[in-house]
A = this chain, B = another copy of it.
Amino acid sequence: MSDAPEHLVRSYDIQLKRLRDMLTEMGGMVESQLAMAAEAIMNRDNDAAARAVEEDPKVDALEHEVEQFVIQLLALRQPMAEDLRRIVGALKITSDLERIGDYAANVAKRSVVLAQYNLPYSFAGLAHMASLVQEQLKSIVDAVGTSDTAKAVEVWRSDRVVDDIYNALFRELITYMMEDPRNITPCIHLLFIAKNLERIGDHATNIAETIYYAVEGEVIPDVRPKGDTSAYANIRPKE
């Protein structure tokens, strides 16, 4: 764009900034969805659950808006190199954020069933997992706004802890189910809630990879942490 008149360059910068602002706005929305969903579980707060679910169409609408804006930018600006990677990256980030919103809404829905049970165990593991994932999400939304690759890599690395808690929780919940069939339905919902949180963490790491690639033009030079191993878990009842 170096040959373009200055006012065109300026309006281009404004458009790129607007794209980033749309993403951080969307990020803020899914952050608050997740906060409401966590609140709904921890405090049996059905109103918070309803609000988290109600946010979903707004998040979807914003995703559609970002997509439209990206297509417009590509058509009008014909961006190159880093700008092009950023604009294409925005498309990936908006899709990850939309999925995070879906998972948060699903957590909120399940909290409504959970609120009907007196659960015989504490939510300590789940609460820990939820707060870690909320931190991950906050950090990565910040990193989107500032193109902070160091922060992105930090989020990417931190996902390992979330996966470890998930794998432990998976086994723990199964043992509760085995102890008393009345625990089965609530524990199934807790399992899916934990899985949703784990997936939110995965999407945060996807966003980290996208930020890094947009800025550096190459992938994060490291092997991705191992992740959810619960697919191989085989827990049997005590004889």
Task: Give Cα A78 to B184, complex, Å.
Answer: 56
A70 at the interface (CB under 8 A from B): yes
A18 at the interface (CB under 8 A from B): no
> Would A237 and B181 count as touching, CB distance under 8 A?
yes
> Which residue of B85, B88, B232, B237 contacts A112 across the interface (Cβ within 8 Å)?
B232
> Which residue of B95, B112, B234, B236 contacts A95 across the interface (Cβ within 8 Å)?
B95
* Cβ of A232 to closest chain B Cβ, rounded Å: 6
Whether A74 touches B71, Cβ cut-off 8 Å, given contacts A182-B236, A234-B113, is no
Q: Select from chain B the residue with minimum beta-carbon distance to A184.
A: B177
Residues of B near A231 (CB, < 8 A) are 106, 109-110, 113, 189, 192
Whether A70 touches B95, Cβ cut-off 8 Å, given contacts A113-B233, A178-B181, is no
Which residues of chain A from 69 to 88 have any CB-CB distance to chain B below 8 Å in the complex?
70-71, 74-75, 78, 80-81, 84-85, 88
* Cβ of A173 to closest chain B Cβ, rounded Å: 9
Kindly supply a per-residue 1/0 record for chain A positions 105-142, scoring 1 wherever the CB is within 8 Å of any chain B CB and 0 otherwise.
01001101100100000000000000000000000000
Task: Give Cα A125 to B165, complex, Å.
Answer: 32
> Would B178 and A184 count as touching, CB distance under 8 A?
yes
> Would B113 and A88 count as touching, CB distance under 8 A?
no
- Number of chain A interface residues as a range: 35 or more
> Which residue of B78, B106, B174, B189 contacts A78 across the interface (Cβ within 8 Å)?
B78
Which residues of chain A from 177 to 191 have any CB-CB distance to chain B below 8 Å in the complex?
177-178, 181-182, 184-185, 188-189, 191
A91 at the interface (CB under 8 A from B): yes
> Would B84 and A80 count as touching, CB distance under 8 A?
no
28 A–B pairs (Cβ distance < 8 Å), ordered by A: A70-B88, A71-B88, A74-B74, A74-B84, A74-B88, A75-B80, A78-B78, A88-B91, A91-B91, A92-B95, A95-B95, A113-B232, A113-B233, A174-B184, A174-B188, A177-B177, A177-B181, A177-B184, A181-B181, A181-B237, A182-B236, A182-B237, A184-B184, A184-B235, A185-B234, A185-B235, A185-B236, A188-B188
| Chain A contacts to B: CB under 8 angstroms | 67, 70-71, 74-75, 78, 80-81, 84-85, 88, 91-92, 95, 106, 109-110, 112-113, 116, 174, 177-178, 181-182, 184-185, 188-189, 191-192, 195, 231-237
